[in-house]
Amino acid sequence: MDTPRAYVWRLQNFVLGEHILTPCPENPTPVKACAISACGNFAVLGTAGGWIERFNLQSGISRGNYVDALEGESAAHNGEVIGIACDATNTIMISAGYHGDISVYLMLLHRGWFVNLRDRITDMCFSEDGKWLLTSSMDGTLRIWDVNLARQIDAIQVDLSITALSLSPNMDIFATSHVDQNGVYLWVNHAMFSGAKEIVSVKMPPAASEKDGEKSKNRTIFKPLESSDTSVSKFQI
């Protein structure tokens, strides 16, 4: 059930904590996204009304909200917030809106800049060093952004929409899951940095093993990870 509140839990004995967090009590809407800072002191909540607010987890006190000042909006997004991510240094906070817009904020200063995509965002994650942001959309695109430069540095497109993604700590492999696929695909990063902005189309490998000598004709920076016996690296759930 949707609720305009977020509940804090204690992992030691799996019980509710002392605080219940309520963003924007003047105009409450259901909480749709949440993230905890790397230091563990703050929780950032996003609502269906586009409101994003930061709370201190120890006291439960609000430390302010994030506003799209460039667009003259009173909230962070013009629509539902569907994702929030904080980097490992407590410097950057990223939020994604239902209409494909991404907001990048200086976490403690609540100042930010913004990017618009063509379709709804399905997932996003930071690289381990906090310099890259990876986003996936319903149109099948996976984009890599340089957070410091606030620009896209690479992109690929697959024929099945990506539902979730994750980048390894070494930034050499990332995993994706896809619509109507009961498996996880692993991809190898063949270049740690590229200046390409053009989207490269990549066909998904089949679930069955490929025959010897068969390889994808698409040459991309990210290629499906294959084992030594040339079987497709798709791990069934």
Note the pLDDT tens digit of each residue in 52-89: 999 999 899 998 888 776 555 677 787 889 889 888 88
Higher pLDDT among residues 106 and 200, named by residue = 106
Query: b/e per residue, 18-51, with b = 16+ CB within 10 A?
Result: ebebbbbeeebbebbbbbebbeeebbbbbbbbbb
- Residue 15 pLDDT: 85
Residues 1 and 101 in one domain: yes
Percentage of the residues of the chain whose pLDDT score is greater than 70: 74
- What are the structure tokens assigned to 191, written together? 């270049």
Is residue 147 in some structural domain?
yes
Domain that holds residue 10: 1-116
- CA–CA gap between residue 136 and residue 159 (Å, rounded): 13
Q: Are residues 87 and 36 in the same domain?
A: yes
Q: Which of residues 219 and 98 earns the better pLDDT score?
A: 98
Structural domains in the chain (count): 2
pLDDT score recorded for residue 237: 36
In one letter, which amino acid is 235?
Answer: F
* The pLDDT of residue 221 is above 50: no
Q: Are residues 161 and 50 in the same domain?
A: no
Q: Are residues 108 and 151 in the same domain?
A: no
Can you give the pLDDT at residue 36? 92
Q: What CA–CA distances, in Å, run from 184 to 104, 200, 236?
A: 28, 21, 7
Instruction: Determine, yes or no, domain membership for 123.
Output: no
Nearest to 124 by CA among 153, 166, 89: 166
User: Which of 95, 116, 137 is where one domain is finished?
Assistant: 116
58 part of a folded domain: yes
| pLDDT (0 to 100) of residue 232 | 35
Q: Are strands 31-36 and 151-158 parallel, antiparallel or unpaired?
A: unpaired
Q: Kindly state whether residues 140 and 33 are assigned to the same domain.
A: no
Residue 22 belongs to domain with CATH number: 2.130.10.10
Domain identity same for 76 and 138: no
**Predicted pLDDT at 77:** 82
Q: Is 69 inside a domain boundary?
A: yes
User: Are both 106 and 47 inside the same structural domain?
Assistant: yes
111 shares a domain with 3: yes
Instruction: Over range 100-104, report the average pLDDT.
Output: 80
What H or E segment, with its residue span, contains residue 167?
strand 162-167
* Domain identity same for 23 and 110: yes
Q: Mean pLDDT, the chain, as a whole number? A: 76
Q: Among 142-151, 167-176, 182-191, name the most confident range.
A: 167-176
**Residue 124 in domain:** no
Band (pLDDT 50/70/90 cuts) for residue 233 is very low
**Residue 224 pLDDT class (50, 70, 90 cuts):** very low
Higher pLDDT, 95 or 198: 95
Same domain for 111 and 1:
yes
Residue 45's pLDDT is 94
User: Distance between CA atoms of 142 and 138, rounded to whole angstroms?
Assistant: 10
Residues 167 and 57 grouped into a single domain: no
137 and 67 share a domain? no
The residue from 71, 90, 116 where one domain ends is 116
Say what percent of the chain tops pLDDT 90: 14
In a domain, 195, yes or no: yes
By CB atoms closer than 10 A (0-12, 13-18, 19+), residue 130 is middle
